[in-house]
Amino acid sequence: MATSKLPQPATELAIQYLTPESIAFKFKVPLETVYQWRKKRTGPPGFRVGKHVRYASAAVLAWVAQQSGLDTSTRIVFQGALPDRYLAPEDIAAMFSVSIETVYHWRKQHTGPPGFRVGKHVRYDPAAVQGWVAQQSDLAAAA
């Protein structure tokens, strides 16, 4: 009697799905804010898996691009996935040893690292901050 080998269930998904808790952690916002975004349909698009809400990483990246004012009509190639955490203005102030008022002044004058709004909160992509630092280093070297 020949036995056929049954297919094994997939144990890993190729795409990473995020929970509301991980969205709140990454953007450093309260969990209730993520739920309000979903209710008002102003946050990243999510979907239900049974009674649970999940977010596709690509959809969250596209939402971040839209929030930060990037041109979404052209194809944007994202290098890697979402960062572990986005930076708050307080993180930027601590990183550069400046006051929080200085960070807000940079944002108002468009002279600091590029940030984006997540609801009422301002957040910074760590890769964009690194790019801004590199740009400032190049300007200082050229002067």
Residues linked to residue 17 through DSSP beta bridges, in sequence order? 56
- The pTM of this model reads 0.55
**Tell me, what DSSP letter sits at residue 95?**
H
CATH code 3.30.1490.20 for 86-143: no
Closest CA to 113 of 89, 143, 97: 89
Q: Is there a common fold for 15-82 and 86-143?
A: yes
Distances (CA, A) of 46 to 32, 42, 68, 87: 15, 11, 19, 23
Phi then psi for 92, rounded to 5 degrees?
-65, -45
Q: Could you tell me how many helices (H) and strands (E) the chain has, helices first?
A: 6, 5
Residue in the structure block whose two tokens are 């572990």 = 84
8 Å CB contact between 84 and 18: no
Give residue limits of the domains in the chain.
15-82, 86-143
Following DSSP, what letter does each residue of 41-53 receive, concatenated?
Answer: T-S--EEEETTEE
pLDDT tens digits, 42-65: 989 888 877 888 888 888 888 888
* Mean pLDDT computed over 72-82: 47
CATH number of 15-82: 1.10.10
Helix (H, G, I), strand (E, B) or coil at 133: helix
Which tens digit of pLDDT belongs to each residue from 3-35?
666 655 555 544 578 889 999 998 888 999 999
